[in-house]
Amino acid sequence: MLISNSAEDTEEIGKKLGEKIVKSLPEPQVLALWGGMGMGKTAFTRGIAQAFGIREQVSSPTFAIINEYRGENGNIFHFDMYRVNGEEDLESIGFYEYLNKGLVVIEWSENIKNAIPLGAINVFIEPGENEYQRKIEIEGITV
Ligand SMILES: Nc1ncnc2c1ncn2[C@@H]1O[C@H](COP(=O)(O)OP(=O)(O)OP(=O)(O)O)[C@@H](O)[C@H]1O
Ligand SMILES: [Mg+2]
């Protein structure tokens, strides 16, 4: 379990994981983020994007549902499942077609939990001892 004391720390942890993922491409391909509102899922994704060499601004695709970023080290398909209710919606947003095309990063994995592939990397972000602290657990890869 890792401790983050700021959004910058969380981004840095994301970057470390991203570097590890870049080295193990083409696998793994799904990164599921777990943790409620404002836990830092997007901050974490920013770090991953840095490791992929992505220069575009990364923000939660709450309305678009998906953002695509292309970087010199690989592509990221960034999903925000906040407004997605259950697995049947996934078909209509074309979720399954993005698997195998690059790294699929998922915010609000809680909303589609049965569709998270078995081989996914799971990142759990929980509140810490104060407003700025987060506990981050990474499963499925060693960082
Ligand atoms: N240790 C920390 N790690 C990450 N963010 C932190 C931390 N401490 C404070 N914050 C603040 O919490 C907020 C996290 O926002 P972020 O958009 O990354 O969360 P999110 O989990 O993606 O939220 P949402 O579910 O709304 O998409 C930011 O305002 C950030 O400054
Ligand atoms: Mg977000």
Predicted confidence (pLDDT) per residue in 34-50, tens digit: 999 999 999 999 999 99
- For residue 26, is the peptide bond before it cis, meaning its omega torsion is within 30 degrees of 0? yes
Ligand 1, atom nearest to 44 Cα: 18
- What is the average pLDDT score of the chain? 95
Supply the Cα-derived Rg of the chain in whole angstroms.
14
Name residue, tokens 């499925």. 140
Ligand 1, atom nearest to 5 Cα: 1
Q: Which residues line ligand 1 (CB under 6 A)?
A: 4-7, 9-10, 35, 37-43, 60, 107, 132-134
pLDDT for res 63: 86
Distance between CA 41 and CA 106 in Å, rounded? 9
C-alpha dihedral, 69 to 100 to 123 to 86, nearest 10°:
100
Predicted confidence (pLDDT) per residue in 53-96, tens digit: 999 999 998 888 999 999 999 999 999 999 998 887 899 899 99
- For residue 117, is the peptide bond before it cis, meaning its omega torsion is within 30 degrees of 0? no
Delineate the domains of the chain, giving CATH numbers in brackets: 2-139 (3.40.50.300)
Q: How confident is the model at residue 141 (pLDDT cuts 50, 70, 90)?
A: confident
